[in-house]
Amino acid sequence: MQKIRAISFLLLLFIVIPGVNALSVVSTTTVLWDPIQYIGGDKVEAIYIADPTICPHMQADIIPNRIQMQKDFIRDADLFVAHNGSVDQSYVMPYISDFMAANNFGTVEWVTLANPAMTWNTPAGAKNLSQEVAGWLIAADPSNQGYYEARLNEYLAQIEAADLTPEERSLITGQDAVVMVWQQDAANWLGLNVVTIYAPDFYMGGKYTPVKIVDDIGNNTENYRNVVYIVENMQSGELAKGLEEALHDKGIPAQRVIFTNFPKSLPGVDSLPDVIAYNKALVTPEQGAPGATTAAPTPTSAPIPGVLALTGILGGSLLVMLCRRR
């Protein structure tokens, strides 16, 4: 009788404790992980592979170690999701697929964005990505469709709240900027006047490398006279220091600001709405004074549900429930 009661008690706990039977999802990056975890709520447990502070293509030695650190979760995951762009295809997805195959854990069936080149560092882009992510969860777990749709609406409201207010738009719009190409969409959303872009040497045959832009600053200084910001992309490394120095040498007091593209890349920047709010604040002048930016914002992070695990029975009773966060 005691055994029957203990078993019944355990079954009841598995029904009422959120997360015990959650859908487990492996994401290549935090960009997908964040909306998956928020929209999924206590119905989903998700992890990400690539370090959000560094571009995935720079992580050939890092990603295999991160996979090993989370191998137990990856082995039993229900869903594998990816951007499926060139970086994912070369530096993240094959490592996970090879890990599963080498250990006889099965073949990975990837779920990927319809448009691998989709951007997410603007409110419109973040909304589109989040809606697609919600569709993945509903397809994988249709019994919880209503729950996911409600959580999606909450998340979209957070993105909307991070968008430009009319006052912010009036302060930011029209400021001249030199912008790293991966942040060009964000700059356009913010209303910055993009004087030129700069990029790594593999972009457009090296036409927009920082060295080329420094030469142009020397040859066409007047085009840059009103530049207020040089917008860097955090995950691409420090490409713009030379641009800042070249402008300063010409008496142009431009400020180098570092946008981010990835949730979890900075303390307090934990979600896509946080990314949008953080970048916006870097180019928002105080009281309309050009170049005098506000302090970085205090983001409202998307809460990440924990996994509740049952750890044992002592004397026929449950003594411990351990709550942990991934």
Closest by CA to 213, choosing from 273, 261, 161, 254, is 254
User: What percent of the chain lies above the pLDDT cut of 70?
Assistant: 82
Q: Using an 8 Å Cβ cutoff, are 10 and 310 in contact?
A: yes
Q: What is the pTM (predicted TM-score) of this model? A: 0.81
Average pLDDT over residues 238-244: 91
- One-letter amino acid of 73: F
**Both tokens of residue 68?**
């090993």
Which pLDDT belongs to residue 20? 56
Buried-state track 72-110, b at ≥16 Cβ within 10 A, e below 16: ebbeebebbbbbbbebbbebbbebbeebbeeeeeeebeb
**Residue 55 binned pLDDT confidence (cut-offs 50, 70, 90):** confident
Which pLDDT belongs to residue 293? 45
Q: Given a cut of 80, is residue 52 above it in pLDDT? A: yes
Q: Using an 8 Å Cβ cutoff, are 257 and 244 in contact?
A: no
Mean pLDDT, the chain, rounded, equals 85
Which pLDDT belongs to residue 2? 52
Which pLDDT belongs to residue 315? 35
Residue ranges of domains in the chain, CATH in brackets: 2-162+311-324 (3.40.50.1980), 166-259 (3.40.50.1980)
Which has more pLDDT, 294 or 258? 258
pLDDT digits (tens, 9 = 90+) for 116-175: 999 999 999 999 999 999 999 999 999 999 999 999 999 999 999 999 999 999 999 999
Average pLDDT over residues 176-182: 97
Closest by CA to 200, choosing from 247, 251, 240, 148, is 240
Average pLDDT over residues 241-253: 96
Count other Cβ atoms within 10 Å, centred on residue 243: 24
User: What percent of the chain lies above the pLDDT cut of 90?
Assistant: 73
pLDDT digits (tens, 9 = 90+) for 3-13: 445 444 444 44
Which pLDDT belongs to residue 239? 87
